[in-house]
């Protein structure tokens, strides 16, 4: 592990120094789309219940203050920015995102959203996926005004993109209430087929809007998270029913990624096997330095699995020892480990290639 990380760091450093030769503003931009796993504060600016802007969220962030990230500190996009040698992107709705800051990229993600518009409907004002894409178009116009159309196109084409969607189509839709409208409309395999076909349209749209390197995160080990264990597990075992979700969804996601890449004739889309990464912690937490992967650090009830993490919740003293920060979201340390796997993992984790390979390849092209 240590030596493969050293190799990864070497490649990243090399990649950056090559890119650096191109000139001042040539640093690779980063764009993020999706849900609460990757939202870094857009929902702070919206009237919605889906928010992480009060303590103890952010307790381990450098400022020790909540930021809107569903984490005790940094989350997955922050560690990817670090791997790019870049500062973290700002949320798109943040008024600070203007001028030169725009060139770093932007985060359009919004906690609660899914692939479908009716997912997370109970959160009312969230930035649904189609709207996140519209905001990206608006962003591109703003950058156009700043650096001109040619440089904007280069910035977009050379950027790294991350998208994380799907869990809320189950948690906050299909399984939200017994006999939910979607569960009456579709059995689980047919529902998965339906959302996968909708997801393919979203990915195609990202390509049309200029994305050329897109990390597409699959659904994590949804049946094993504290928020699901609380109602569906007797002794902490994963819910076999809910585990069908990633088991059905992820291989079909890889399938559409292969189809899109072969249509385009290039490895634009990269599958991130989040479920595989999380299962490693779940099967053997101690191996990764966690004392548990069943109980959340912050929450209430069995496994601290009640959705809310607030000032009155149980809070563990050492967040690094927990794979889950709250009922649904990985701890900062779990996020760091996940991004290490993204950077240097084998094809089992990153298909068809990992981030260090991407960075090395793309720096050669330029």
Ligand X SMILES: *[C@@H]1O[C@H](CO)[C@@H](O)[C@H](O)[C@H]1NC(C)=O
Q: Which residues bind ligand X (CB under 6 A)?
A: 4, 7-8, 116-117, 130, 198, 344, 346-347, 353-354, 356-357
Between CA 38 and CA 66 the distance in angstroms is 15
Compute the least distance from the CB of residue 23 to ligand X, in Å: 27
Between CA 158 and CA 363 the distance in angstroms is 10
Compute the least distance from the CB of residue 119 to ligand X, in Å: 9
Identify the helix (H) or strand (E) that includes residue 341.
helix 332-344
Between CA 7 and CA 28 the distance in angstroms is 21
- Which of 75, 78, 326, 356 does the annotation list as catalytic? 326
Q: Which is nearer to ligand X, 243 or 356 (CB)?
A: 356
Report the DSSP pairing between strands 350-351 and 269-272. antiparallel
Q: Which is nearer to ligand X, 250 or 344 (CB)?
A: 344
- Which of 35, 36, 280, 356 does the annotation list as catalytic? 36
Exposed/middle/buried for residue 314 (C-beta within 10 Å: 0-12, 13-18, 19+)? middle
CA atoms within 13 A on the CB side of 134: 5
Instruction: Tell me which residue has its CB nearest to ligand X.
Output: 344
Backbone angles phi, psi at 292, to 5 degrees: -155, 150
- Which of 81, 167, 329, 363 does the annotation list as catalytic? 329
Compute the least distance from the CB of residue 339 to ligand X, in Å: 13
Exposed/middle/buried for residue 141 (C-beta within 10 Å: 0-12, 13-18, 19+)? exposed
Residue 110 annotated as catalytic: no
Residue 36 annotated as catalytic: yes
Compute the least distance from the CB of residue 11 to ligand X, in Å: 6
Q: Which is nearer to ligand X, 100 or 348 (CB)?
A: 348
Compute the least distance from the CB of residue 253 to ligand X, in Å: 16
Residue 179 annotated as catalytic: no
Closest C-alpha to 277, from 357, 334, 196:
334
Between CA 343 and CA 358 the distance in angstroms is 9
Active site residues: 36, 326, 329
């Amino acid at each position: 592990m240590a030596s493969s990380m050293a190799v990864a760091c070497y490649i990243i450093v090399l990649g950056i120094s090559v890119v650096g030769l191109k000139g001042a503003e040539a640093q690779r931009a980063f764009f993020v789309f999706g849900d609460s796993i990757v939202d870094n504060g857009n929902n702070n600016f919206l009237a919605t219940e889906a928010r992480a802007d009060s303590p103890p969220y952010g307790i381990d962030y450098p400022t020790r203050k909540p930021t809107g990230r569903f984490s005790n500190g940094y989350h997955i996009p922050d560690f990817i920015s670090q791997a790019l040698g870049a500062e973290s992107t700002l949320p798109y709705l943040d008024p600070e995102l203007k001028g030169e800051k725009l060139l770093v990229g932007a985060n359009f993600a919004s906690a609660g959203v899914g692939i479908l518009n009716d997912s997370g409907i109970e959160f009312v004002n969230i930035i649904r996926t189609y709207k996140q894409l519209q905001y990206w178009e608006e962003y591109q116009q703003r950058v156009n005004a700043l650096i001109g159309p040619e440089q904007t196109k280069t910035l977009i084409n050379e950027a790294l993109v991350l998208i994380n969607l799907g869990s809320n189509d189950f948690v906050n839709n299909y399984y939200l209430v017994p006999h939910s409208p979607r569960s009456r409309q579709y059995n689980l395999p047919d529902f998965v087929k339906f959302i996968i076909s909708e997801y393919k349209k979203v990915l195609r749209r990202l390509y049309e809007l200029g994305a050329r390197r897109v990390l597409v995160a699959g659904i994590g080990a949804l049946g094993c998270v504290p928020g699901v264990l609380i109602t569906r597990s007797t002794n902490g075992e994963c819910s076999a029913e809910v585990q069908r979700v990633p088991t059905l969804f992820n291989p079909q996601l890889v399938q559409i990624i292969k189809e899109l890449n072969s249509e385009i004739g290039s490895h634009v889309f990269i599958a991130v096997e989040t479920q595989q990464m999380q299962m490693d912690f779940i099967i053997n937490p101690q191996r990764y330095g966690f004392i548990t992967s069943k109980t959340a650090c912050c929450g209430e009830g069995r496994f601290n699995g009640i959705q809310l993490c607030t000032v009155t919740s149980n809070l563990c003293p050492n967040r690094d020892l927990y794979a889950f920060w709250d009922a649904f979201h990985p701890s900062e340390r779990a996020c760091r480990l996940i991004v290490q796997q993204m950077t240097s993992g084998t094809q089992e984790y990153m298909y068809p290639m990992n981030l260090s390979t991407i960075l090395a390849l793309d720096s050669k092209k330029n």
